[in-house]
Structure formats: C-alpha cells, structure tokens
Amino acid sequence: MMKPKRFSPLGATCTVLTVIVALVWLFPIYWIAATSLKSETQTIALPPSLVPSPPTLESFIYVIQNSPIFRWYLNTVIVAGVVTFLSILFALMCSYALSRLEFKGKPVIYALLLVGFMLPFSTMAIPLFMLMNKLHFVNSYAGLILPQIATPLSVIVFKQFFDAVPGDFRHAAVIDGAGEFRILFRIYVPLNWSIIWAMSIVTFIGTWNNFFWPFIITSSTPMLTIPVGMTQVQSAYGIAFAKTSAIAVMASIPTAVAYLLFQKRVTQGVMAAAGIKG
C-alpha cells in the first residue's frame, strides 16, 4: 500500500509560483489572439474587454486582401530554410576541422569564433550593410541570407560533441582510405544526429523570427519577411491594433507548430546553447 505523500510547503510554493509565471507569460499571447478577433472599435473601447464579443475575422481578411502576406511568407520560408541548411552545413565542416584536424592558426580561429559568439549582431550591422550595399545585395535574397549564415554558436556546440567522439573511429576510417568529408558525413554526423536536428530547428526558428537584419537590409515591400511586414499593416488613422494582432498571429503559427512538433529537439538545442553560455 502506497503511503500518502506529505504536504511540502516548499513544493506548494514552487507550484504556485510556476502557475503564476505561466499565466503571466501566457496572458500576452491570449491578448494578441483575442485582439485579432475584435473589430478596431472594440480594441480602443474602455474598459477593454478580455473576450471579443462578437468575434470577427475581418482583420484577417483585411490583412490577406491588402498586404502581400503570402509573398512575405515565401520570403521567410526561403530565407529561414536556406540559412538553416547552409549555416548547419558550414558549422559541421568548421567544427570537424577545429575538433580533429591540425593546422596553423587553429587556436586563433577558435578564439575569433568565441569573440564572434560574444559580440551582439547589432555591433556588426553597419559594416555588414556597407558590404552588402557594395555588392548590390540590398533588397535581395543574397543580402538577407549571407550575413545570417555565420553562426559561431553552432560551431562551438558541434565541436564539443565531436570532441566526445572517440578518435579511434577516425583513425580506423583513415586507415581504410576514407577522406575527411567521408569521415565527417559517414561517422561524425550520424553519431550526432540528435544535436544536429536540435540546432537546425533552433536556427530555423531564430531566423524566422529575426527582425533586426531583415529590417535593415530590405526597403522594398515585396522583399520583406513576416516579422518586418507586420510593421507595414496600418490604417489611415495610424496603428491598427486588430490588424497588427491578426498578422502577428498568422506570423507565429509556423514557429508555434514547429515547436509543438519538435519540442524535445528545441529544448535540447536551447540546453546545449545554455551550456555553452554557462
């Protein structure tokens, strides 16, 4: 017979605090969703109503009919997909070289990667924009994609996992005549599929939600991504709260679905990144 669990004041306090934090975090999400189902008149009514009455889809219809949202979706999918594929591919090759190959300047390169990891992206925005402008990549997919490919975090994470792979695997493959690319993609990648998938999903979501760089590099409406396009949905009277909330909901659906489908992978990637930062 199982003994009844004793009441723990500390456990009860932690549970209550967890519920409070969860409600505080969820309320803005609920508020945006509820606002998107209101009319513009309801959004400025006092006192504000927590529940749209009656709910309406007019804001979603307006966004679809009066903005190139599907083009923005396409831009975001292309940019996020290409950035994820290329950044992970280059990170795998770079981390393998830093982990298993010996060459001059290796410590310097790794130190520069650490410096790049610690520097916020905003500090490099001006020189990157000047470079993209000289290459005539402003308002283009190349300008959106290229600066986001370099991801020091992925290199550092992959290097740590490659360091944990026994060196005998590589030595045996070298004796069999395998080249470095074959060793990487036939041995090291299969042994680390879990963290590769995790970092890929985290990279995709981060690129999808990126506002800062697309906002700087694009000024043409058809080249905007979803996060930047949200700022373009206004009315003749200024900010349209319901319409802005509607496009925010539409913009968040893909990342929300990705998180729900790959929650364990996302958590693993975040924990790996947190371990590096720690």
- 3-class DSSP assignment, residue 234: strand
Check residue 39 and report its DSSP letter: -
- Mean pLDDT of each 10-residue bin along the chain, 278 residues long: 62 84 87 86 80 85 86 92 94 92 86 83 87 92 91 88 86 86 90 85 88 90 88 64 86 80 67 53
CA distance 106 to 71: 43
> What is residue 271's predicted lDDT score, i.e. its pLDDT?
65
Three-class secondary structure of residue 252 per DSSP: helix
> pTM of the entire structure?
0.82
CATH class of 67-277: mainly alpha
Residue 72 near residue 229, CB atoms below 8 Å? yes
Give the 3-state secondary structure of 51-114: CCCCCCCHHHHHHHHHCCHHHHHHHHHHHHHHHHHHHHHHHHHHHHHHHHCCCCCHHHHHHHHH
**How is residue 123 written in tokens?**
């500090």
Taking a C-beta distance cutoff of 8 angstroms, is the pair 112, 118 a contact? no
Q: Please state, in angstroms and rounded to a whole number, the distance separating the CA atoms of residues 36 and 55.
A: 9
| 152, 114 contact by CB (below 8 A) | yes
- Nearest 5°: the CA angle 201, 204, 210 is 140
Q: For residue 172, what is the enclosing H or E element? A: helix 167-175
> Quick one: which of 247, 253, 157 has its CA closest to 208?
253
Domain ranges within the chain, ordered by starting residue: 16-56, 67-277
Per-residue model confidence (pLDDT) at position 236: 47
- Best CA proximity match to 201, nearest among 233, 154, 248, 240: 154
Q: Which residue has the tokens 């934090």?
A: 21
Q: What is the structure's pLDDT at 239?
A: 66
CA distances in angstroms from 24 to 18, 28, 246, listed in the order given: 10, 8, 21
Report residue 143: phi and psi, to 5°.
-65, -35
